[in-house]
Amino acid sequence: MVDSSFATAAKKGNARRLFLLFVCCFSLFQMTKGATPKKAVTVPFSKNYMPTWSFDHIKYFNGGNEIQLHLDNYTGTGFHSKESYLFGYFHMHIKLVAGDSAGTVTAFYLSSNGNEHDEVDFEFLGNRTGEPYILQTNVFTGGVGNREQRIYLWFDPTANFHTYSVLWNSYLITFFVDDIPIRIFKNTENLGVKFASEQPMKLYSSLWNADDWATRGGREKTDWTKAPFVASYKGFHIDACDATLDDEYCETEGKKWWNQKEYQDLDAAQYRRLMWVHRRFTIYNYCTDKARFPTRPVECKANKDA
């Protein structure tokens, strides 16, 4: 028979171990959760956006909470944010062009104005039926780009809506697909690389014909018998600092959630996911293109780009 005092102590010890395990796991969960961008709310298109061109090629549904962009052999279309922003969280739910989309590009990006502009790009390059979509990302700072990376998406982006987002603060720019980080671009001004920290940017999206380059370098042309090509959007909330009101305030204030410590870098779990994307789905990375860049760009090491 087990001594009752020993059994009681053992139970207390097990309870304590379980409690410590719970605290440890909860703390880890909180750290991981803390670095995930805040969930956006649902607002209608007209609250934050307006058409850019070809207004008749934008279709509205569900009281303006969902829209479609249409591309035909006459024109594409697009929209942009009403205001300009300096730092924040920008996201969109997009369902890409289904079927044979070769030659088309669906773009979702931030951009400032001028020759030395800053720009943060999602570009979805269409493909032939049954072949995977290619997502190209790029970053321009001070008018300098040529920082393309391309990945295959690991799901069918035409079957359902998926979330594509950018978290931008003075420390880094992070690209997310369904909350999975697929790319980071850190502030490496200490290494002589300009960073997007001074120029307010608007948010843009468009659907257009780019069959001179988009699919296999322009060898695959758009099949206009498949038109109209349709991309669907919802989730038009913008959680960012409105520089239209006061861009100096946006540069200096530190109270917004995206400026807090947990968003100044990825956490360990996010880095593991980032490396998973790099290993499994990357098909082009400017950092490893020695033909274009015999000397590796200095920001690549900081950004953990192999």
- Residues assigned a catalytic role: 119, 123
Instruction: Give CA–CA dist 208/161, Å, rounded.
Output: 20
The two tokens of residue 76 are: 């594409």
The two tokens of residue 202 are: 């608007």
Instruction: Give CA–CA dist 119/298, Å, rounded.
Output: 19
What are the angstrom distances between the C-alpha of 113 and each of 136, 171, 197, 199, 298?
21, 22, 14, 8, 26
Q: 220 and 102 in contact (C-beta within 8 Å)?
A: yes
Q: 150 and 159 in contact (C-beta within 8 Å)?
A: no
Structure letter (DSSP) for residue 145: -
Phi and psi for 149 in degrees, rounded to 5? -135, 145
Give the residue among 215, 232, 222 at the shortest CA–CA distance from 92: 232
193 Cβ neighbours under 8 A, 6+ residues apart: 141, 297, 298, 299
Strands (E), 126-171: 134-140, 149-152, 162-168
